[in-house]
C-alpha cells in the first residue's frame, strides 16, 4: 500500500509540475481518448526526430530549439500515459514508429528537408500545421479534463512553433554551401507549399499502431 501511495504521489507531482497543478486521472479514458494520447506521443516524436536531423544538416538553431520543445511535449503526453496505465510502444530509435503512416511521413519530410534550408523550413511549417489540425481534432473528441489540458498546451506550443518557422530569417544562418550555410531564394514559396496537408496520410491517420489501452500492434 505504501508503494502504491508513493507511486501515486510521484505521478501527481510530475503532472502538477508540468501543467500548473494538473491533477492525476479524474476518470477512465474512452477508447478514442486512449488512441489520441498514444498517437500524439508518436506524432510529437516525429516532429522531434525530424527537427534534430534538420538541425544536424543545416545548423539553424530554430530546429534544435523546437526539437527540445517537442521533447517536452512528449514528456507531457507521458504523464497521461502513466497516469492512465496505458502501454506505450513508442520506439526509442529516431525515425521509428509503430504507426506505418508516421514512418512514411517521416521519410517524406526528411527527403524534402534535405534539399535546401528553405525546404527544411517548409517541412517545419508542414509539421506544425498538421500537429495543430490533429490536436484540434483530438480536442473535439476528448472530455477528460487532464487530457484536454495537456492537448491545449501542446496546441499553443505548436502555434508558436508555426509562427517561428514562418517568421524565420534565413540570412541569420549564412550563405555558404556547407553545414548550416545553404540559403535558398524561394523560401516563402517553399514554406507555403510545405504548409499544404498531405490528405492521403491524414485520411488514415489513426488507423494503425497502438490500439487503446495495452495495445502496441503495428498497422
Q: What is the CATH number of the domain that holds 183?
A: 1.20.1260.10
| Per-residue pLDDT, 202 | 52
Angle at 40 between CA 37 and CA 43, to 5 degrees: 160
State the DSSP H helix or E strand holding residue 183, giving kind and residue range, or none if neither: none
Structure confidence at residue 192 (pLDDT): 53
The separation between the first and the last C-alpha atoms of the chain, rounded to the nearest angstrom, is 39
Cβ atoms of 49 and 106 closer than 8 Å: yes
Helix/strand/coil for 85 = coil
The boundaries of the domain holding residue 116 are 31-203
170: its cell numbers: 534565413
Q: What is the mean pLDDT of each run of 10 residues along the chain (219 residues)?
A: 45 45 62 97 99 98 98 98 97 98 98 98 99 98 96 99 96 54 44 51 52 40
Q: Whole-structure pTM over 0.75, yes or no? A: no
Q: Which of 98, 120, 102 is nearest to 198 (CA)?
A: 102
Alpha carbons 139 and 198: distance in angstroms, whole number: 21
Cell numbers at 111, concatenated: 527527403
Within the chain, where are the H helices?
2-19, 31-58, 61-83, 100-113, 117-140, 145-167, 187-194, 199-203
Is residue 209 domain-resident? no
Q: How many CB atoms are located within 10 Å of the residue 140 CB?
A: 8
Residue 3 located in a structural domain: no
Q: Is residue 9 part of a domain?
A: no
Give pLDDT, residue 78. Answer: 98
Assigned domain for 76 exists:
yes
212 located within any domain: no
- In whole angstroms, give the CA distance from residue 105 to residue 5: 42
Whether residue 24 lies inside any domain: the answer is no
Place of cell 514559396: 189
Report pLDDT for 209.
Answer: 56
**108/44 Cα distance (integer angstroms):** 16
> What's the rounded Cα separation, in Å, for the pair 24 and 67?
27
Total domains present in the chain: 1
- Whether residue 21 is contained in a domain is answered as no
- Within-domain flag for 58: yes
Amino acid at each position: 500500500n505504501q508503494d502504491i501511495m508513493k507511486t501515486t504521489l510521484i505521478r501527481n507531482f510530475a503532472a502538477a509540475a508540468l501543467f500548473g497543478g494538473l491533477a492525476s486521472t479524474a476518470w477512465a479514458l474512452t477508447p478514442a481518448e486512449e488512441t489520441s494520447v498514444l498517437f500524439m506521443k508518436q506524432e510529437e516524436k516525429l516532429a522531434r526526430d525530424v527537427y534534430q536531423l534538420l538541425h544536424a544538416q543545416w545548423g539553424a538553431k530554430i530546429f534544435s530549439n523546437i526539437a527540445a520543445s517537442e521533447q517536452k511535449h512528449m514528456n507531457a503526453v507521458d504523464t497521461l500515459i502513466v497516469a492512465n496505465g496505458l502501454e506505450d510502444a513508442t520506439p526509442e530509435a529516431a525515425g521509428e514508429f509503430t504507426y506505418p503512416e508516421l514512418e512514411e511521413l517521416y521519410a517524406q519530410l526528411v527527403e524534402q528537408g534535405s534539399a535546401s534550408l528553405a525546404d527544411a523550413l517548409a517541412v517545419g511549417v508542414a509539421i506544425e500545421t498538421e500537429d495543430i489540425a490533429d490536436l484540434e481534432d483530438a480536442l473535439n473528441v476528448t472530455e477528460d479534463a487532464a487530457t484536454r489540458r495537456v492537448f491545449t498546451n501542446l496546441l499553443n506550443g505548436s502555434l508558436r512553433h508555426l509562427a517561428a518557422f514562418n517568421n524565420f530569417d534565413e540570412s541569420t544562418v549564412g550563405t555558404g554551401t556547407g553545414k548550416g550555410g545553404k540559403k535558398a531564394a524561394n523560401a516563402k514559396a517553399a514554406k507555403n507549399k510545405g504548409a499544404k496537408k498531405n490528405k492521403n496520410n491524414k485520411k488514415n491517420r489513426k488507423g494503425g499502431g497502438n490500439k487503446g489501452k495495452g495495445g502496441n500492434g503495428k498497422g
